[in-house]
Each structure stands twice: as structure tokens, then as C-alpha cells.
Structure 1
């Protein structure tokens, strides 16, 4: 009986370790005020109201698309900067699925 209990506890611990290692993605598309893709931009990702950057990316994509991968469940602030455009920031919470921020339209800052 003791051996069965230890086996069950081991199985439970292994299954818990697999669930905590889940990684998810946040994706979206960046466009200008005329809905043309913005091809070059920077993204900074902060976790749980922490002012420390956990990912910093310079993206060049002709369709304005971005994909932030390998994010564990948490709350993230995503900051996007593009030269000559207004800055954009959003907070997204990943629980147990991938998240889309949709199409983000930026306005000219000049």
C-alpha cells in the first residue's frame, strides 16, 4: 500500500511539473492610420508590472506581423515603438491559451 501511495505521489508531481512548463504566444499586426503594414518596429515585453524587460525585439516584417513566443502563464505589458509614430502599450494576461492583440493602428506623431 505504501508503495502504491509513493507511485501516485510521483505521478502527481510529474504531471504538475508538465503543466507549469506550458509556454504560450502573443501575436498581432501593426499598421499605420491608412491600414498599411508597418514593416519595422521595436517591442519590449515586461512581466507582472516589473520594470525589467524580459524580451526586447527589433522586428522587420513586410506584413507588420509579430509573434512573441515561449511565454509562461503570467500578465505582460507589451510596448511598441516606431519612429515617427505614437507609442503603443497594452497589458495582456496569458492563462492557458495563446493570445492575439489583433491589428494595432498607430497614428503619425508629426
Structure 2
């Protein structure tokens, strides 16, 4: 399962690449790609910030809650397509959830 698809987007894990619905490659940092991978592995499941950091391998800095928030906001910005919001939902007092259906091949 080296490919994932959601809302017209394509993730190629073997190439570590992300393509938007128009087919254009979207550049992601290693941390952003790791976070996206975790979210795609747990679609429609609320993940706490601590669990996201653990699964994505984000360094546990003193401001770790903020660092995951910054990472999510950067990834969210890159996953916006036209007027469509990114499929990363903030769940108050709980964490984040990837709201799109994910297909694996």
C-alpha cells in the first residue's frame, strides 16, 4: 500500500510525494509528510496532540503542543484546493481528525 488517495489528492509513499487534484506536486517537509501519513493511517478518528506527536515522531519540545499546532496549520494550508478547506478538522479539547475518506492501493 504505497499509494493513498483522498478528495482528488494522491500521496505516493515510496516517492514521499503529494500531488494536488490538478496533478501538481506539493512540497512537504519531512515532518509535514510524517504528519500526513499518520492522519491518512487514522481517517475519521480523533487523535490527541500527544498521540499525533508520538506517531509522527515530532520532537517533544517544551512548546510541543504549539509545535504540533504549527505543523497542522502548515499542512492544512498546503492541502487547501481552490475553495475547498483542508480535510484536517480541529476537535475542541481533543485534538485533530482527518475528515476525508482515504483509499489505499
As a proportion of its length, which structure holds more helix?
Answer: 2
TM category, shorter: under 0.3
Question: Scaled by the length of structure 2, what TM-score is found?
Answer: 0.26
The structure that is strand-richer by fraction is 1
Give the TM-score of the pair, scaled to structure 1: 0.26
Whichever of the two has the greater Rg, that structure is 1
